[in-house]
Amino acid sequence: MTALLLSLALAAIPVDPLVPGSPAVLRGHTDVVTAVAFSPDGKTIASGSRDKTVRLWSLETGAVLQTIEGSREQPISIVFSADGKRLAIADSSFEVRVIELPAGTVAQTLVHPDTLSQVAFDPAGARLMVTGFNGNGGLYSLKDGKKLYSLRANSVGMLPDGKEAIVATSDHFFKTVELKSGKLRQPVSTDTQSPVVVVSRDGSTLVTWSPSAPEVRVWDRKTGKVTSTLTPPAPDALMPEKRQTNELVSVVISNDGKRLVTSAADRVVRVWDLTQGTIVKTFPVQQQVKVALSPDGAWVAAGDTGTVKLFKLSAD
């Protein structure tokens, strides 16, 4: 019954007829959507836009539940805490706001000494890891907003035990950081420029990618060895007349580590089966978009020109 109601509700959302696959379209932003995220229970989608707002949407009805204003610049990274009670919003300046939900009040405002690239809650929601494009990272206490320590990090993926995280650095490495001390260990060379690290929620799968390359590497975290490399079709096989590139823009992984979604500069969203290393679905979009994957792996959200597009992957 829940699946039927969800399908009927989404069917009522206005659909963009120009996009093959007929995604459901959430309209309301007045500029390009720059960040998207699903809540842990999969019922809410958060989207940030160049219009300097963050909107919370109901996946069941497509309605706007809340509009959060006050960003100084466009949101770059938005993420829910594991219990869904807080939302961290990092904009393209130096500011991170932690919002209490559903009240919409600001619990903390953190000012970080770098242009922000990513934020991540620890599993308990008590600390927030912040990383910057210039490699300046830090762990902050959300009790008082104080920085606990600084470290070199361009991106971060939290591990489920709450004791460690994986960070990627501009010197082509990813490393394990002990959250309590900030100590970095087990450096692994990625052989790629400015790598970005993504870790599945269960901690089973680790992937790295770079905005300057089209490939995604899948790693065995224990051995530090690459288990597979995912390479999309060559650009000239897609749209040679437009000279499109397929350098990556956004990469997300399913909670169980079995499915990967990529967005590339050629304006194609690709869904990968990590057990086979194959592309199972593709969706064209209008912009080089950020993507998010629902906790159950059934929906892809893609930020686009003033909209959020929802693509159905599998039946519930």
Q: CA torsion, points 283, 285, 291, 293, in degrees to nearest 10?
A: -30
In the chain, pLDDT over 90 holds for what percent of residues? 60
Q: What is the pLDDT of residue 119?
A: 95
Half-sphere exposure of 137 (CA within 13 A, CB side): 28
8 A C-beta contact, residue 166 and residue 190: no
Paired with 87 in beta bridges are 80, 99
Give CA–CA dist 36/193, Å, rounded. 25
Asked if residue 235 has pLDDT above 70, the reply is: no
- Residue 157 reports pLDDT greater than 70: yes
Span 237-268, pLDDT tens digits: 555 544 457 788 999 999 988 999 999 988 89
Instruction: Give the Cα separation of 176 and 172 in Å (integer).
Output: 14
Res 304: pLDDT: 86
Closest among 175, 93, 32 to 167, alpha carbons compared: 175
DSSP state of 238: H
pLDDT confidence tier of residue 44, bands split at 50, 70 and 90: very high
End-to-end CA separation in angstroms for the chain:
10
pLDDT in tens, 71-120: 888 899 999 999 999 999 999 888 999 999 999 999 999 999 888 899 99
Kindly list the structural domains of the chain, giving each domain's residue range(s) and its CATH number in brackets, ordered by start: 2-312 (2.130.10.10)
